Structure 1
Amino acid sequence: MIDINGIMKVLPHRPPFLLIDRILEVEPGVSCTALKNVTYNEEFFKGHYPEYPVMPGVLIVEALAQTGAYGILTLEANKDKTPFFGGLNNVKFRKQVVPGDTLRLEVTIDRLKSSYGKGKGKAYVDGVLVCEAELIFMLG
């Protein structure tokens, strides 16, 4: 298991925008599984929504992207590159994510070239699918 300090050695993201807490498994260039503990102290809950805190869907997708980026950037050929979104397809939000939830983020990389790739991500809370997306990324 890799903690936040180990994650920050690979990803360029930093709090409060680093949206993964632990890496559970990684097969460089193939797949990555991470966890995000969603707490009421998250900055975005101050405005989304103060009376009914719900994690924004775009941040769930970003957490999936960061998980996939970790798996890609652990390849020696991609070390020190910067990941960027190239696009999203077939994004579906199936359940709200609220404070106290733990997101299990699973990403598989379907295609990987030197500066471009595609993957599929799924986010779960207590084994229930809450979000899925096809991720397109570029490396700079």
Structure 2
Amino acid sequence: MKRTYAAPLTAVDRAEVLPGKGVRAEKDVVAHDPYLAGHYPHFTIYPGVFTIESVHQAVRRMVAAERGDWVRTEIDTIVSVSLSAPLLPGDVLRVQADRVPTAEEDLVRVKALCRRSDDVVAAKMTLVLRVHPEEAP
């Protein structure tokens, strides 16, 4: 899978692809990760945009498992996002992204539910991702 996002942002630490259904993924929120520095001084919090990126990277892994590592997948449309609880250092973000059928082969639509370690819902979102197939190496 090609990395089309900026290093060092790894927004998924573990992922399990559920063939034909979706993907489950986890991200450990670690206080010393460089992108957390200064994000709300004195109240370190995982940025909401990174929660979206966690779902994006989880779906990228799903698409790569289904279509090959050489496929490029990027967000086409953010249909909806609701951020409802903060993700703090020490939390584990748990993503469940379920595939929603689409008529277009180059689009992948998912509804994602993101929970914290304590099972509190941190975010809900619906994303549409565009798949750009490239030739296999």
Query: What is the TM-score with the length of structure 2 in the denominator?
Result: 0.85
Structure 2 CA distance for aligned equivalents of residues 65 and 72 of structure 1: 11
1:26 positional shift: 1.3
Give 1:63 shift.
0.1
- TM-score where L is the length of structure 1: 0.83
Equivalent in 98, 120, 132 of residue 128 of structure 1 = 120
| Alpha-carbon spacing, 1:79–1:44, altered in 2? closer, same or farther (3 Å) | closer
Distance 1:32 1:109 in 2: 8
How far off is 1:49 after superposition?
Answer: 2.0
Instruction: Check the 8 A contact 1:30/1:72 in 2, yes or no.
Output: no
CA RMSD of aligned residues (A): 1.8
Partner of residue 20, structure 1: 12
Structure 2: how far apart are the matches of 1:67 and 1:73? Answer: 10
Q: CA deviation at 1:78?
A: 4.4
2:74 touches 2:131 (CA, 8 Å); kept in 1?
yes
Contact 1:33 1:67 (8 Å CA) reproduced: yes
Using the alignment, how far apart are the partners of 1:69 and 1:29 within structure 2? 14
Distance 1:14 1:35 in 2: 19
**Which structure 2 segments of 5+ residues have no match?**
133-137
2:58 corresponds to: 67
Q: Deviations over 1:79-105 (max 9, x none)?
A: 411111101122101101111100111
